[in-house]
Amino acid sequence: MYARSTTILAHPENLDRGVALARDEVLPAVLDTPGCIGMSMIVDRDSGRCIATTAWESMEAMRDSEGMVRPLRDRVADVLGGRAQVDEWEIGVLHRAHNSSPGACVRVTWLRFDPATMDRGLDMYRQSLLPAMERMDGFCSASLLMDRAEGITVSSVTFDSADAMAASSDEAERMRANVTAELGGEVLEVAEFELALAHLRVPELV
């Protein structure tokens, strides 16, 4: 399975309008597109950064959807007042302990590795990191997106609340340190978001 992420640095005062547009118009249209199996949107109200991600059954379905998705993406970007950066990913891991509820938050970690170590990193995420995440209070779900050519991974971990996410921060830092020590990778960024929209029919990938 594959994913397309759209990142927009919005004017913070436009966030609610942009989220409403994504929820009421974009989501139904995207979910009706052949091969689409889900959509989510996360927002940082302080910086205005929004990331909308759609999930697809295959690379072909994702690429075939571009003509339909582009005008919707441009409308959301126009409402939010920012430019859209689009990235495409392989979905390496997707695991949900339970559905998210209002108030859920997401910690996103971008890392860069030698592309030759990507499969080792994927195995480490599945076999070691994910079980440790599941033991964290308030854990809801986790996913790992991969760009094998660039050696970049994006881990998104959802918690039931901002308090649960904050309580996990020390353990998350230790996990990142272990990963980079084991694989020689580099943490590019760690950011925290509000989960504004989540509708996934994606099967488990663990």
Question: Could you report the per-residue pLDDT of 112-136, keeping only the tens digit for each?
Answer: 999 999 999 999 999 999 999 999 9
- Specify whether domain 97-196 bears CATH 1.10.260.40: no
User: What pTM was computed for the model?
Assistant: 0.94
Q: Identity (one letter) of the amino acid at 175? A: M
Residue ranges of the chain that CATH labels 3.30.70.100: 1-89, 97-196
Q: Which fold has domain 1-89?
A: Alpha-Beta Plaits (3.30.70)
Contact yes or no for 47/15 (Cβ under 8 A): no
How does the average pLDDT of the chain come out, rounded? 94
